[in-house]
Amino acid sequence: MNDYKEKILSICNESSKNTLMETLEIEYTDVGEDFLIAKMPVNSRVHQPDGVLHGGATAALAESVGSTASYIFLDGQNFFVRGIEISANHVKSVKKGFVYAKALLVHKGRTTQLWEIKVTDDENHLISVCKLSTIALPRK
């Protein structure tokens, strides 16, 4: 299982090259039967002008981990995944360190999926709770 897990994480991280995920330095760090975890550094590149993590960067992290999780847990060879709706409730600010996004599958339909993504800081404090709906469309 460990080799399989490492292979999945390697593929996820490799697919981030030359994308927004690389720009934000998002790294996929753990995967299980129904979850995916990624981390992102909190620094001036993702700050609002007043020096705290920008909600848009948090939403980008959440959508990235949720969409990638959909790709992993669906048939990515025959379908491509798109986010169709995201909501984010930001409950705490953070100025430095890392934030960690854990995507948990709430609903896995044939066409649509629903993910809950909790974003925490280095001390495991809740920063944001996000909900992401994705759609799986057949490749032609």
**3-class secondary structure, 28:** strand
Amino acid, res. 121? D
- Selecting among 27, 63, 116, 123, the annotated active-site residue is 63
Provide the residue type at 20 as one letter.
Answer: L
User: H or E segment at 29?
Assistant: strand 27-31
In eight-state DSSP terms, residue 111 is S
- By the 10 Å C-beta count (0-12 exposed, 13-18 middle, 19+ buried), 15 is classed as middle
Is 25 one of the catalytic residues? no
> Which residues are marked as active site?
63
